[in-house]
Homo-oligomer: A and B are copies of this chain.
Amino acid sequence: MATLKDIGIELGLSVATVSRALNGFPEVNARTRDRVRQTADRLGYRPNRIAQRLVTGRSGMVGMIARIQPDMSSDMIFFEMLTGLTAALAARDTDLVFAVDQSDEPVLPYQRLLERGILDGFILNAPVPGDPRVTWLKARGVPFVVHGQDQVQVDYPFYGIDNRAVMVDSVDLLAALGHRRIAFLNGELRLAFANDRLAAFRNAMAAEGLSVPDHFIASDDPSENYGYGRGLAMLSGRLGPRPTAIVCGSTLTAAGVLRAARDLSLNVPGDLSVMAHDDALPKHRATNFSPALTVTRAPMRDACVPLANHLVDHIDGVAAAQLQTLIRADVIVRNSTGPVPEEGKDPWHSTQ
């Protein structure tokens, strides 16, 4: 490993001059700079991050921590983000330290990693309302960026989708088709985004003058089984009046609902409209559904580059207020949504 000293000796220059030459400082002769650059290239010089960090306090490394869940289902999403973020960070010459959280104390792994003295900042995912990690990191002035927000009004850098808009768009679309009994299979309420969506759903329904009976709301970790089970329960009518439309928090859940509808011989969209929010994970493609799924769409992948940039910019000193991005999901109407069935003509009345 060539060092600044090696280059200096080779050229009869001091390390100081070599350092300035390579870092583009103005007070070094253009010819000298060229000579330094050339020998640096020839010797394959790369600055030692360790030494850089020791003196500048910057290491060019950030951390990301995964919660290990007994159920690994949602972790595919995490991995998707992890690889995308790592690639995006590489473009900003930043490396990523990965750790896992096995304790039930959420800030512990962050503290442990921070105390190593090797990190410039963190990427936080899956925030919960009033996330303790956020308050902890903020308290000690550690830069971080959040995928999403832990509350509506925040003062840290983040990138996320407008969950309120997602629900308004979904409810409005279905209401415009005449639906009045709209159910919502939400994600885990523990998570901030699911909280936001639930509140937004209720507001949007109220704005349309529609009521939301308790059994029209469910929330759980998204899975096909969850969608099937809750879908079947709602559509069987044993919980109360049946919905004519179901909004799902994820396409995986929607897949379950579609299976439930199939098992009940319900036609989608004739008897039942189904839509979902689509994170556009490479595995579950909403177009491959039958019928093709109407969705609000915001690819997870799209978050990686802005998240990486926001964090690195913030570490570089850009104010948090400049680094807050809330994007609006696209509404993509496909074949799983349609006009509400005429009253008295829905399959339950006609067959039963």
Contact = CB atoms under 8 A, between A and B. Distances in A.
A22 interface: no
Contacts of A118: 49-50, 59, 61, 95, 118
A46 interface: yes
Contacts of A98: 82, 86, 96-98
Interface string A100-119: 10100000000001011110
A99 B100 contact: no
A117 B72 contact: no
Given A50-B53, A117-B49, A96 B95 contact: no
A100 B113 contact: no
Nearest to A59: B50
A102 B90 CA distance: 11
B95 A97 contact: yes
A79 interface: yes
A75 B68 contact: no
Nearest to A2: B115
A49 B116 contact: yes
A100 B90 CA distance: 9
Given A72-B283, A97-B98, A117 B86 contact: no
Classify chain A's interface size.
35 or more
Interface string A187-217: 0000000000000000000000000000000
A interface: dominant SS = mixed
Contacts of A155: none
A102 B79 contact: no
B115 A100 contact: no
Contacts of A79: 75-76, 79, 82
A85 to B, nearest CB: 9
A49 B48 CA distance: 14
A113 B90 CA distance: 10
A50 B46 contact: no
Contacts of A82: 79, 98
A302 interface: no
Nearest to A1: B117
Given A76-B76, A80-B72, A87-B102, A46 B117 contact: yes
A327 interface: no
A116 B72 contact: no
A60 B97 CA distance: 12
A83 interface: yes
Given A61-B118, A90-B100, 9 more contacts: A46-B115, A46-B116, A50-B118, A59-B118, A72-B282, A76-B76, A76-B79, A95-B99, A96-B99
Task: List the 8 closest pairs (A to B, CB-CB), nearest first.
Answer: A46-B115, A48-B117, A98-B98, A79-B79, A49-B116, A86-B100, A50-B53, A72-B282
